[in-house]
Structure 1
Amino acid sequence: MKTLRNQHQEKISKAIESVLNEQESVDQNHWRLQYHVSTPAFWMNDPNGFSFYKGEYHLFYQHHPYSPEWGPMYWGHIKSKDLTYWEHLPIALAPSEEYDRDGCFSGSAIEKDGKLYAMYTGNVWTGDNYDTDLRQVQCLAVSEDGVHFNKVPQNPVIDLAPEGDIHPYHFRDPKVWKKDDYYYCVLGSRTKDHEGQVLLYCSRDLLNWEFMNVMAKSQGNLGFMWECPDLFSLDGQDVLVMSPQGMKSEGDLYHNLHQAGYVKGKLDYKTGLLQHEDFQLLDYGFDFYAPQTAEDEHGRRIMIAWMAMWESSMPEQKHNWAGAMTIPRELSTKQGNIISKPIPELKQLRQHHVQYKNITVNGEQELAGISGDCYELEVEINAKAASQFGIKVRTDNDTHQETLLTYDRLESLFIFNRDKSGEGDGGIRKAPVGLNDNHLHLHLFVDKSSIEVFINEGEKVMTSGIYPADNAKGICFFADQEIELITLNKWNLSKGVSPLIF
């Protein structure tokens, strides 16, 4: 009879072989991202186990290593010394035991006694309906080196959902942290009537967990399930990040299938209750879900999210890969709201700097040296009297492709339009944005099949996958009346992710 460890390792080895066989052909795809984390091949979704361990950042992720479609979940693994240059590592977890046979679902990681512990949800399908026929338990795996993990014999460490108005089966995504002498974790949950909520647990040793309370729950339009919760302190306030499923659209907001955002407040560690303010989005684009944060050695709170969404069509699947992560973003607060900025370490990727100053635009205008498909662009715009202005990126005159980024002064909206962005889904997303002294600051990170727009120093962010033609590399500025590009800086960005070597 195989030992549990050998059974687990055998499944990991087969999965790695599957990925390695496909990696080279995947890298030939012209949509293949250059500085965003993705899998060497096949499917990726939620970030998991994002942590700082022995001087390096470790990022795990939901991974199906046999197909570009979602399937039985493994934990893929990648690490970095600087959140910029990433090195693929062997797959860390495989569904190998009776309690996780249909998937090692999302979770988190924490250092204890020099070891890295991964806490995750073991998933078992008990029938054909994946919404109703399931059993979920919380499990633990431990690593001496941050690379090779063994599941603990005490698994599952949380076996049953608590009594009360708590759904017995939808019970997942543990995020663990330590405060004083205790470890705590939050779990995504729903009520029996399908309203989202988050559960709080505590433990002294990561093995024996005690349910404390329903920490927070949906009121009004906050969905039927809260996935991937994360609780941390930022600038003196507690922040609960979660991904509500099933929110209904309200005006310009909540038009994705599911959302990702936060509430700020104060957690009472004695009662286990979070008193909090209203829900706020973390990203106003199309493709941003399941964000997870980590605190690094500098005390920064860094966030990474899945740069996709469950209803997205994902044209890259025909090239045997799917999904990616956002660039890492540093969180802080400004006037009571969370702002997210690209981490400064990404400047290491910069090449071929082009700069302009005091450029007048009226109508449409292209600039010499300002084009590409993998770049960073930062521009400060004086709106003057213009009512609509912005940037078209990834443009191509032959195919009439463009991704349209427009500021509408009359509506105080920033509008992201990907109806002509190439293959894949179209659509429009809008974010409420005001001008600062009649100025708009935009900071764009464009990769081969993605774009992240940081607006007014991270007050709002919009993220999307786009799938333009290979030669769609134009950049065009436009305005309905005269505007001024006060400063414009553009850099090509180099490759940041190395292949899996095994």
Structure 2
Amino acid sequence: METKQNLTHEQRLELANKKAAELAAALDNDRFRLHYHLMPRTGWMNDPNGLIQFNGEYHAFYQHYPFEPHNGPMHWGHAKSSDLVHWEHLPIALAPSEPYDLGSGNNGYGCWSGSAVDDNGKLTLIYTGHVDGNNPVEVQCLAVSKDGVQFEKAANPVIPGPPEEGCFGFRDPKVWKHEDKWYMVIGSGKDGHGKVQLYTSDSLHHWQYSGAAAQSDGTMGDMWECPDLFPLGEANHVLIISPMNMGSTKTMYLSGSFNYDSGKLETAYSERLDYGFDFYAPQTLLDDQGRRIMIGWMNIWGAKMPEQEDGWMGAMTIPRELKLTEKGTITMEPVAELTALRGKHHSLERQVIERDTVLRLHALQSDALEIVAVFEVSDSHEEEFGLLLRCSADDSQYTEISYCTSNGQLLMDRNQSGQGDGGISELTIEPMERGRLKLHLFLDRSSVELFINGGHKTITNRIYPNPDSLGIKLFSRQGSTILHSFDAWELQSIW
């Protein structure tokens, strides 16, 4: 753990990278290590930061404490990819080193979350400097790179504090350019209402406050972390937030129209973004194909994290492409590039799964799978059907995905999933055209990501079964079920 004081930023980066390499080399248990998700070499990972396509490559930064697999003074980890599938770890980009981001002890300071932009060929990071005990606690800062790897901090802070007294938080800047002006949204809250503060700039170094772009009506949390405001579809914008103190809802989106003259988002629709336990602080980027791509942190604060025992913690979701429907709802689907991971293919023809039957797929034994299962939902409104994942030989471990035709409720039950937290994720969804339910899922050793009916709803969860719990089953209860089609691919590791 880092204890030395009076070190330069470069010296702190050198210390962090050296320690990370040493600890990564010493990792000797891969029971929960993911095959095809971005995760830290060692230490702690949380929020994705600075997602950007720069000089033809995708860059993902992230909140990182390289010295221990626990939350500590935040650095910015860094990885890049040419295809959104295969990731290469780069040197740590930021370390706390200055009065506005360096404190004392093991917590309460650091280079907190933010974003990245291409400023005339210079990869520029915009982040929150957080130091408990400072007044103000949180300020907004810049760091600039000419080569996309080594970063120098600017004359910081560029925003020296919140726009008003009594703010609950002032962090996580997301910056973009519209026409000839820079825009920044910052997460905040006041008097029990989460809000997003808006700033504008001509140069990134000098910012003007433009008021609140959007705020809660009192029912959507008391502080909005990690805001991301972006255009999606024709004449529409979407604001993604991670509201604090809103019960089981950890992420939301608001869709509507954003007026660049007034700086206000007129919301037409709002909904929970993901219905799982382990999805937080997502961020998006716009790539050169015009796609809006999102990656989220595939964990959640306060959860049991069994991988900490092995010297690391945290992972990112697979990249997801966002689209906006005519109703103002978002769909999320895995990026097309992920098909490159597909290996051995397994399939089943259309068939009836009889009442109270469990069908074990003996040929399918893997902890890294993509599965697309399509069921025909009958008019009888009696049956319950679905899949059992990562089943042990004695059936004591499994993760269940089920759909009940009587009420349209879809569940992911991880109460028998292994060492991690239990709990049931639930949502309600109607069948697609011709009465079909499509379950598209990605299973990766200690995670499950489920995309339902073309990504109209998603569930993201971490699971921690024993390494030898590899069985996959289909089932039907209370009535018979027609399996329209079933395709599964064993997925290759990117590491």
Q: Which residue of 2 aligns with 1:296?
A: 287
Secondary structure, counterpart of 1:201 in structure 2: strand
Aligned amino acid, residue 487 of structure 1: S
**Per-residue Cα deviation, 1:404-446 (whole angstroms, up to 9, x for no partner):** 1000111211101000000010001101111122211011100
Check 1:204–1:358 CA distance in 2 against 1; reply closer, same or farther (3 A cut): same
Taking the aligned partners of 1:457 and 1:169, their CA distance within structure 2 comes to 37
Q: Which residue of 2 aligns with 1:125?
A: 132
Q: How far 1:25 sits from its partner (Å)?
A: 3.9
> Structure 1: where are the runs of 5+ without partners?
128-132, 249-254
Taking the aligned partners of 1:30 and 1:399, their CA distance within structure 2 comes to 19
**Does residue 439 of the first structure (1) align with residue 433 of the second (2)?**
no
Decide which moves more: 175-184 or 5-14: 5-14
Taking the aligned partners of 2:166 and 2:481, their CA distance within structure 1 comes to 55
Taking the TM superposition and a 5 Å limit, the aligned residue runs for 1:324-339 are 324-336=315-327, 337-339=329-331
Taking the TM superposition and a 5 Å limit, the aligned residue runs for 1:28-427 are 28-101=29-102, 102-126=109-133, 135-152=137-154, 154-163=155-164, 167-168=166-167, 170-191=169-190, 193-236=191-234, 237-248=236-247, 255=248, 259-336=250-327, 337-362=329-354, 363-384=357-378, 385=380, 386-398=382-394, 400-427=396-423
Secondary structure, counterpart of 1:17 in structure 2: helix
Q: Which residue of 2 aligns with 1:430?
A: 426
Aligned amino acid, residue 132 of structure 2: W
Report runs of 4+ in structure 1 exceeding 4 Å deviation.
none
Contact 1:161 1:169 (C-alpha < 8 Å) held by counterparts: no
Q: How far 1:6 sits from its partner (Å)?
A: 7.5
Contact 2:167 2:188 (C-alpha < 8 Å) held by counterparts: no
Q: Which residue of 2 aligns with 1:130?
A: none
Taking the TM superposition and a 5 Å limit, the aligned residue runs for 1:476-487 are 476-480=473-477, 481-487=479-485
Name the TM-score, length of structure 1 as normaliser: 0.92
Taking the aligned partners of 2:66 and 2:399, their CA distance within structure 1 comes to 32
Taking the aligned partners of 2:92 and 2:28, their CA distance within structure 1 comes to 19
Aligned-pair RMSD on alpha carbons? 1.6
> Structure 2: where are the runs of 5+ without partners?
103-108
Taking the aligned partners of 2:430 and 2:82, their CA distance within structure 1 comes to 37
Decide which moves more: 487-496 or 337-346: 487-496
Secondary structure, counterpart of 2:340 in structure 1: helix
Contact 1:136 1:169 (C-alpha < 8 Å) held by counterparts: no
Taking the aligned partners of 1:125 and 1:67, their CA distance within structure 2 comes to 20
Aligned amino acid, residue 451 of structure 1: V
Secondary structure, counterpart of 1:70 in structure 2: coil
Contact 1:34 1:495 (C-alpha < 8 Å) held by counterparts: yes
Aligned amino acid, residue 178 of structure 2: K
Q: Which residue of 1 aligns with 2:465?
A: 468
Contact 1:23 1:41 (C-alpha < 8 Å) held by counterparts: yes
Aligned amino acid, residue 117 of structure 1: T
Check 1:208–1:307 CA distance in 2 against 1; reply closer, same or farther (3 A cut): same
**Per-residue Cα deviation, 1:127-157 (whole angstroms, up to 9, x for no partner):** 8xxxxx86100000001111110001x2100
Q: Which residue of 1 aligns with 2:106?
A: none
Check 1:125–1:48 CA distance in 2 against 1; reply closer, same or farther (3 A cut): same
Contact 1:365 1:476 (C-alpha < 8 Å) held by counterparts: yes
Taking the aligned partners of 1:482 and 1:399, their CA distance within structure 2 comes to 22
Taking the aligned partners of 2:416 and 2:168, their CA distance within structure 1 comes to 42
Taking the aligned partners of 1:478 and 1:168, their CA distance within structure 2 comes to 51
Check 1:207–1:319 CA distance in 2 against 1; reply closer, same or farther (3 A cut): same
Taking the aligned partners of 1:36 and 1:367, their CA distance within structure 2 comes to 25
Name the TM-score, length of structure 2 as normaliser: 0.94
**Per-residue Cα deviation, 1:33-62 (whole angstroms, up to 9, x for no partner):** 110111000100000000000000000000
Taking the aligned partners of 2:30 and 2:152, their CA distance within structure 1 comes to 35
Contact 1:160 1:168 (C-alpha < 8 Å) held by counterparts: no
Taking the TM superposition and a 5 Å limit, the aligned residue runs for 1:10-21 are 10-21=11-22
Aligned amino acid, residue 482 of structure 2: E
Taking the aligned partners of 2:246 and 2:169, their CA distance within structure 1 comes to 17
Q: How far 1:5 sits from its partner (Å)?
A: 12
Contact 1:5 1:150 (C-alpha < 8 Å) held by counterparts: no
